[in-house]
Amino acid sequence: MDCAQFEGIVHEIDRPGTEGFAFREAALAHAESCSRCARLMTQVESLDLGLRAFASHEAERQAPAHVGNELMEEFRRTKAAASRRRFRSQVVALATAAAVLLALGVSLRHRLMTGPSPAPARDLAGNHPSPAAPAGSAEPATTAARPDSEDSLTADNLASESADATAFVPLPYADDPSAADGGAVVRVVLSRPALASLGLPVTDMGATDRIPADIIVSEDGAPQAIRLVSQSSLDD
């Protein structure tokens, strides 16, 4: 070992697991033969003693008790706040579930009281499904009847309007053929492009035009078939 190597490891010859510790014996042997490195080793040992004395002197230092007490208080406050948040979210979830159940109950009761609707006049055969259309483009008309209200369209008034309306066309994604017999009819107002995307024969495409239409909705609320209604019948 030469002096440069000695200087490279002298600060860690007493630190287990280090390169200096691995070459400790060689370093000590070198210090015995080199007065300059022996002096450096003495200085390093003196530093180690000083650091150990300082560390030992400081070892009992710790934060005052009030710091720990305040932290414990904060921990309890945070825990209580978290419990309150959990409780609130559980209440909200329960309230939402209750509201949904109530709505379903009311809807079912209404259906039982009004009885099943006869099948609307329609022509489900011979129409070709077109690419899926966005159901969200439907805009309920302000004058349209709601299926669960007193103004729901029944077979009778549908029949009376049949002269002013086209036949029902099944929607491309209709998955409940029986809904055509028992489903509710909702009147909506749709744009021409939206109607065309549903496979209806719409000419003179004006994006801003609004066309009234009837949609058969199954029990789960999914639209099943659609027909156009003339503007005049809506005005009446």
Partner 1 sequence: MRAVDNDGKMTQVTDQTDARLLRRIMAGDEEAFAHVYRQKHPAIYRFALHMSGNAAVAEDVTQEVFMALIREPGRFDPAKGTLGGFLFGIARNHLRKRWERDRRLVPFTGDSEEMDDLISSSAASRNGNGHGPVASARDEFSSLETIGRVRQAISTLPGNYREVVVLCELEEMSYEEAASALGCPVGTVRSRLHRARAILVEKLCESRAARHAPAVDE
Q: Is 35 in the site for partner 1 (CB under 8 A)?
A: no
Q: Which of residues 54-73 bind partner 1 (CB under 8 A)?
A: 54-55, 57-58, 61-65, 67-68, 70-72
Return the closest-CA partner of residue 91 out of 76, 83, 78: 83
62 or 142: CB nearest partner 1:
62
Q: Which stretch binds partner 1 (CB under 8 A): 28-36, 77-85, 97-105, 134-142?
A: 77-85
222 neighbors 171 (Cβ within 8 angstroms): no
The CB-of-32 to partner 1 minimum distance in angstroms stands at 20
Return the closest-CA partner of residue 134 out of 186, 180, 189, 193: 193
Question: If DSSP codes are grouped into helix, strand and coil, which group holds residue 47?
Answer: helix
Q: Is 87 in the site for partner 1 (CB under 8 A)?
A: no
28 or 44: CB nearest partner 1:
44
Return the structure tokens found at 170: 């099944």
Burial of 117 (0-12, 13-18, 19+ CB in 10 A): buried
The CB-of-92 to partner 1 minimum distance in angstroms stands at 21
CA distance 135 to 144: 17
Instruction: Please name the residue that has the structure tokens 């210090």.
Output: 31
The CB-of-29 to partner 1 minimum distance in angstroms stands at 21
Q: Is 50 in the site for partner 1 (CB under 8 A)?
A: yes
Q: Is 210 in the site for partner 1 (CB under 8 A)?
A: no
Residues 6 or more apart in contact with residue 121 via CB below 8 angstroms: 158, 159, 162, 167, 168
Number of Cβ atoms within 10 Å of the Cβ of 12: 18
171 neighbors 223 (Cβ within 8 angstroms): yes
C-alpha angle 110-178-156 in degrees, rounded to nearest 5: 60
Q: Is 3 in the site for partner 1 (CB under 8 A)?
A: no
Q: Is 79 in the site for partner 1 (CB under 8 A)?
A: yes
The CB-of-10 to partner 1 minimum distance in angstroms stands at 9
Q: Is 14 in the site for partner 1 (CB under 8 A)?
A: no
Question: How many amino acids of this chain bind partner 1 (CB under 8 A)?
Answer: 35
The CB-of-74 to partner 1 minimum distance in angstroms stands at 6
Contact residues for partner 1, defined by CB under 8 A: 8, 11-12, 17-18, 40, 43-44, 46-47, 49-51, 53-55, 57-58, 61-65, 67-68, 70-72, 74-76, 78-79, 82-83
